[in-house]
Amino acid sequence: MNTETPSSDIDAQRASAQQDIRDLRQKISQLDTASIEMILTGARSHYAWKDVPVTEHQIRELYNMVKMGSTSMNGCPARFVFVTSDEGRERIAKSLKPANVPKVVGAPLTVIIAYDLDFWKHLPQLFPHEDRRHFFEGKDAYIADTAYRNSTLQGAYLMIAARAMGLDIGALSGFSNEIIDEEFFKGTTLRSNFLCNIGVADERALFQRLPRFDFDQVCTFA
């Protein structure tokens, strides 16, 4: 049986995708200043949280935004564990540096951003017009590098999407990946990347904004 998509269907899908972008550009050319402040220039990382839950509906809405972010070959290697239970927080706490324990215990939602080392096996679903599994098969270092880099990218999408929804975030790297992997991913092909708390922040825990590099300190033209 021939399972290939007819070229006429591919052409129609491509034309539709191109028109979607034209329509989007007609609808909105760029975000306004207030929106950019909300997601980047005015946003802060938070460390304390108000007693306001993040609902399952919000979590699903968040993921449906995140999944549309671009990844290499549309591989989508990130896997997300949304921890909302006390039992889950206790398991995370085993991995944390002491200063980070209250940040997680007090958060309504902590997300473990992980990646699947078998992500490439799903490429026939995610990249259906060409089978690219042979690029990865037997290449462990390339698999790990691609999965880690792109799951980090997807984690950044998660942070921006949460802010766009009106939520606050606080990413964490002060933990043991080995302990998280033992607690949550033992016997699987998943590995942890980083953690991110999400909720409605208690701004009273903020301190002054830290400095950033100026353009000429870190940017060049070529």
Q: pLDDT tens for residues 183-196? A: 999 999 999 999 99
Q: What is the pLDDT of residues 119-147, one digit of tens each?
A: 999 999 999 989 999 999 999 999 999 99
Q: pLDDT tier at 1 (50, 70, 90 boundaries)?
A: very low
Sign of CA dihedral 34, 153, 66, 90: negative
pLDDT given for residue 154 in this prediction: 98
pTM: 0.93
What ranges in the chain are assigned the alpha helix state H? 7-27, 33-36, 56-66, 86-93, 101-105, 123-126, 140-164, 177-184, 215-218
pLDDT given for residue 3 in this prediction: 47
Question: Residue 207 has which token pair?
Answer: 């301190």
Asked if 172 and 98 count as a contact pair (C-beta separation under 8 A), the reply is no
In the chain, what are the domains? 43-205 (3.40.109.10)
pLDDT given for residue 4 in this prediction: 55
First-to-final CA distance of the chain: 51
Q: What is the pLDDT of residues 81-110, one digit of tens each?
A: 999 999 999 999 999 999 999 999 999 999
For 60, 149, 152, 183, 218, the CA distances from 76, given in Å and listed in that order, are 17, 11, 11, 23, 30
Asked if 111 and 196 count as a contact pair (C-beta separation under 8 A), the reply is yes
Q: How far apart are CA 1 and CA 99, in angstroms?
A: 60
Amino acid at 126: L
Asked if 10 and 129 count as a contact pair (C-beta separation under 8 A), the reply is yes
Query: Exposure pattern of 152-179 as b/e (b: 16+ CB <10 Å)?
Result: ebbbebbbbbbbeeebbbbbbeebebeb
